[in-house]
């Protein structure tokens, strides 16, 4: 059987997650890097390989959206931060994704779209029309949501004869996270309490949207109709100065936050997602240590724990990259994780 030609892929954004994805596109033979879109002016004109510490590829980084949009490719890894983080609107990302789809490129995005049906017929109609125009598919993914709070719990419910409640907890340590923009400006670490609520308003809106999609997707897959998704959050103040990669957090400013998203049925939670973010887990003792936990309550009742996970950003990128072949092969339309074969690291395995 003749070898399949590599899939041509565009990397859209090269931040904390996009940089890891770009490395995979360059080093894995089943892909051909077709183009790179960047937002940082200092990256424009750089070779894509040099940008991530690899040999030169001959593919230069551009910030010209129209040029990248016109580039022929099988797929786009769309990995900017959601526009709503910066006071924009979900509709901005929707327009970009629809334009890419209509231009004949499949799209895998980490800006949401895990279960766009949450936003109603208007959003679904725009995505489906763009997919039909381009003969393409769109798939939203990530590590959480995208894997930990949706794909993995659904897989575990296959052991259930009765299902009462699904609980997912993420606890993340941001001590080594490189982006001040994310850690300080969006999550709000280092902010005094009087400024915190205003600072995190865009982050709260995006968090609620993302995890509403995730919780609704799981409920839909299990045949459960939720009445609403409720969100609460709280924060912790630093007792001492914390020096982390993204900056300095002074005593009395926010050093951790805890977010809870609950999908309710008749006032009772059917699924709960708890997200704990710590500026420095070694020095912030409140709330659980870093890792993931999934509780399935019912019959049988059990818990899965992941105590350590290095390079979580790399995991988020890998889950998207490992979905490329399936999304490109899928029929046109919106493709949730329920529509695709499970993404694995099959082509990433390196044996001695």
Give yes or no: residues 33 and 133 share one domain. Answer: yes
- Let me know whether 284 and 332 are in one domain: no
Is the domain of 281 the same as that of 156? yes
- Determine, yes or no, domain membership for 317: no
Using CA atoms, how far apart are residues 121 and 232, in angstroms rounded to an integer?
27
Long-range contacts from 60-67, C-beta under 8 angstroms, 24+ separation = 60/36, 61/14, 61/36, 61/37, 62/35, 62/36, 62/37, 62/38, 63/37, 63/38, 63/39, 65/37, 67/35
302-306 and 291-299 strand pairing:
antiparallel
- The reported pLDDT for the residue numbered 83 is 81
Confidence of residue 16 (pLDDT cuts 50, 70, 90): confident
Residue 215, helix vs strand vs coil: helix
pLDDT at 302: 93
Examine the domain organization and report whether 223 and 194 are in the same domain.
Answer: yes
* Domain membership flag for residue 273: yes
CA–chain centroid gap for 129, Å, is 24
Residue 294 host element (H or E): strand 291-299
Q: How far is the C-alpha of 172 from the C-alpha of 238, rounded, in Å? A: 17
Does residue 37 sit in the same domain as residue 85? yes
Tokens 């490395």, residue? 23
Paired tokens of 196? 């915190």
Structure-token pair, residue 229 = 């998704």
pTM of the model: 0.92
For the stretch 278-319, pLDDT in tens is: 999 999 999 999 999 999 999 999 999 998 777 778 899 999
- Closest of 8, 9, 7, 22 to residue 313, by C-alpha: 22
309: number of Cβ within 10 Å? 16
- Under 8 Å between Cβ of 194 and 301: no
Is the distance from CB of 296 to CB of 163 less than 8 angstroms?
yes
Residue 1 lies in a domain: no
Looking at the fold, whether 125 and 158 belong to one and the same domain comes out as no
Q: What tokens were used for 99?
A: 């334009």
304 by Cβ neighbours in 10 Å (0-12 / 13-18 / 19+) ranks as middle
172 and 108 within one domain? no
Angle formed at CA 345 by CA 340 and CA 351, multiple of 5 degrees: 155
CATH of the domain at 57: 3.40.50.720
> At 215, is the pLDDT very low, low, confident or very high (cuts 50, 70, 90)?
very high
pLDDT tens for 327-340 read: 999 999 999 998 98
**Cα–Cα distance, 141 to 337 (Å, whole number):** 8
Asked if residue 313 is part of any domain, the answer here is no
Looking at the structure, tell me whether residues 199 and 261 fall in a common domain.
Answer: yes
Q: Are 267 and 162 members of one domain? A: yes
Residue 348's pLDDT band (boundaries 50, 70, 90)? low
- Tell me the longest C-alpha to C-alpha distance in the chain: 65
What's residue 43's pLDDT? 97
- Domain limits at 171? 151-308
Total of domains in the chain: 2
Residues 237 and 333 in one domain: no
Half-sphere exposure of 305 (CA within 13 A, CB side): 7
In a domain, 188, yes or no: yes
* Residues 136, 87 share a domain: yes
Could you tell me if residue 107 is inside a domain? yes
Same domain, 136 and 159: no
């Amino acid at each position: 059987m003749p070898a399949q030609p590599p899939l041509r892929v565009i990397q859209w954004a090269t931040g904390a997650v996009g940089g890891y994805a770009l490395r995979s596109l360059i080093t894995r033979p089943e892909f051909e890097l077709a183009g790179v879109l960047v937002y940082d002016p200092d990256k424009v004109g750089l070779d894509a390989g040099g940008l991530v510490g690899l040999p030169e590829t001959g593919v230069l980084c551009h910030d010209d959206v129209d040029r990248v949009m016109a580039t022929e490719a099988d797929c786009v890894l769309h990995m900017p931060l959601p526009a709503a983080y910066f006071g924009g609107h979900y509709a901005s990302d929707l327009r970009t994704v629809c334009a890419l789809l209509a231009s004949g490129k499949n799209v895998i995005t980490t800006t949401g779209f895990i279960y766009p049906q949450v936003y109603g017929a208007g959003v679904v109609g725009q995505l489906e029309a763009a997919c039909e125009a381009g003969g393409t598919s769109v798939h939203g993914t990530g590590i959480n949501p995208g894997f930990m709070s949706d794909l993995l719990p659904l897989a575990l419910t296959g052991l259930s004869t009765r299902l009462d409640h699904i609980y997912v907890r993420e606890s993340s340590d941001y001590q080594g996270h490189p982006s001040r923009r994310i850690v300080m400006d969006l999550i709000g670490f280092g902010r005094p309490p009087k400024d915190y609520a205003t600072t995190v308003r865009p982050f709260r809106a995006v968090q609620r949207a993302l995890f509403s999609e995730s919780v609704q997707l799981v409920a839909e897959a299990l045949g459960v109709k939720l009445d609403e998704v409720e969100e609460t959050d709280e924060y912790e103040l630093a007792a001492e100065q914390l020096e982390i990669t993204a900056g300095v957090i002074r005593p009395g400013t926010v050093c951790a936050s805890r977010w809870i998203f609950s999908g309710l049925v008749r006032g009772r939670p059917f699924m709960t997602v708890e997200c704990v973010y710590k500026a420095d887990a070694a020095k912030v003792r409140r709330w659980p240590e870093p890792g993931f936990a999934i509780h399935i309550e019912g019959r049988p009742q059990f818990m899965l724990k992941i105590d350590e996970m290095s390079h979580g950003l790399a995991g988020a990128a890998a889950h998207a990259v490992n979905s490329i072949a399936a999304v490109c092969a899928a029929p046109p339309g919106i493709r949730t994780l329920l529509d695709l074969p499970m993404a694995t690291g099959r082509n990433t395995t390196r044996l001695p």
